[in-house]
Chain A
Amino acid sequence: MPATPPSPHSYPPRTSVWFAFVSFGAVIAAQTHAILTSPAEGDMGHLQKIMYVHVPAAWMTFLAFFVVLVFSARYLWKRNENDDLLAASAAEVGALFNGLTLMLGMIWGRPAWGVWWVWDARLTSTLVLFLIFVGYLALRAFVDDAEQKARWSAAVGAIGAINVPIVYMSVTWWRTLHQPPSSPATLDPAYTMGLRLNAIALLLVMIHFIRKRYEIARVERAAEHVAEAAAMGGR
């Protein structure tokens, strides 16, 4: 039997298992620190503790979609398939955090505002952002041609990511029920450390998710290349 020639597509190395343990351990440590040390807030009491998951999830959404924007633009410029796969991986992870942000916002909104949902600018623009990236993922699932899929999803990803500044500024531009953006600059110092630690921990989890999803996408693409080569009689 002749030796198998190398695949035309590189097979990615495995992402580190240790990084996964460190990132999830960091979330446990950061949440424990925040829950145990942050005092009850004047208006909301201990409900404020939802901030440590809701706000970092929203930041990770923005960051993931920024990665989508960068690598979608890079794909349209250089036509490197790996840029498309990385953008798609970030879009999937971004959609996860976006959905989580919406869910956590509803869980926080019910006791704080008395309603699960209001059609105000922040909530509606966040929902629109989520629907754009669900559409992005659906587009990738339904288009078969790899080059066409990459081109179309790069365009949708870049346009979708433009919505991120609108979501961020929505509480400033329009009158909303949602409070102004929470950040270490606008927070009481008693809550700053907890928010920073939780943001860093969730950033590590997001990096792990994107790296792992990208690795899987590359393995799947390498298998497709092998199949295409076999179909053309190359193997």
Chain B
Amino acid sequence: MIESNQTFIIAAYAVTWGAMLAYLVYLLRRGRRARAEYERMAPGDRNTA
């Protein structure tokens, strides 16, 4: 019982970290792509506000 419970506990933390890290990687890639696309369309134009 204890061993099988440990499996579920490990699974819960693994799913949590898997989801968070997968989304973080998604954000990093999409952000890099978005900035590259903007740079391609408007080179040097960083009208930051």
Q: Which chain A residues border B8 with CB–CB below 8 Å?
A: 47, 50, 107-108, 110-111
**Known interface pairs A31-B13, A100-B15. Does A12 touch B43 (Cβ–Cβ under 8 Å)?**
no
The answer to whether B15 touches A46, judged by C-beta atoms less than 8 angstroms apart, is no
The answer to whether A53 touches B13, judged by C-beta atoms less than 8 angstroms apart, is yes
Write the chain B residue with the least CB distance to A105: B12
> A235 CA to B2 CA in the complex, in Å?
67
In chain A, positions 1-35 with a C-beta closer than 8 Å to chain B are 4-7, 9-13, 20, 24, 27, 31
> A160 CA to B34 CA in the complex, in Å?
29
| Nearest Cβ on chain B to A58's Cβ, whole angstroms | 12
The answer to whether B31 touches A216, judged by C-beta atoms less than 8 angstroms apart, is yes
| Nearest Cβ on chain B to A125's Cβ, whole angstroms | 21
> A216 CA to B31 CA in the complex, in Å?
5
> A226 CA to B40 CA in the complex, in Å?
11
Write the chain B residue with the least CB distance to A13: B48
Interface 1/0 per residue, B1-36 and A, CB below 8 Å: 110111011011101100110011001001100110
Q: Which chain B residues border A10 with CB–CB below 8 Å?
A: 47-49
**Known interface pairs A110-B8, A111-B8, A230-B41. Does A12 touch B48 (Cβ–Cβ under 8 Å)?**
yes
The answer to whether B12 touches A226, judged by C-beta atoms less than 8 angstroms apart, is no
Interface 1/0 per residue, A27-65 and B, CB below 8 Å: 100010000000000000111011001100100000000
Q: Which chain B residues border A168 with CB–CB below 8 Å?
A: none
Write the chain B residue with the least CB distance to A12: B48
Interface of B is mostly: helix
The answer to whether B11 touches A209, judged by C-beta atoms less than 8 angstroms apart, is no
> A209 CA to B46 CA in the complex, in Å?
23
Number of interface residues of A (CB under 8 A): 45
| Nearest Cβ on chain A to B5's Cβ, whole angstroms | 5
A54 CB contact (under 8 Å) in B12, B19, B34, B41 = B12
Write the chain A residue with the least CB distance to B39: A223
The answer to whether B15 touches A212, judged by C-beta atoms less than 8 angstroms apart, is no
| Nearest Cβ on chain B to A28's Cβ, whole angstroms | 9
| Nearest Cβ on chain A to B33's Cβ, whole angstroms | 9
The answer to whether B15 touches A4, judged by C-beta atoms less than 8 angstroms apart, is no
A220: Cβ under 8 A from any B Cβ: yes
A4 CB contact (under 8 Å) in B16, B24, B35, B42 = B42
| Nearest Cβ on chain B to A27's Cβ, whole angstroms | 8
> A112 CA to B1 CA in the complex, in Å?
11
* Pairs A-B, 9 closest by C-beta atoms: A10-B49, A6-B47, A219-B34, A223-B38, A50-B12, A53-B16, A216-B31, A226-B41, A226-B42
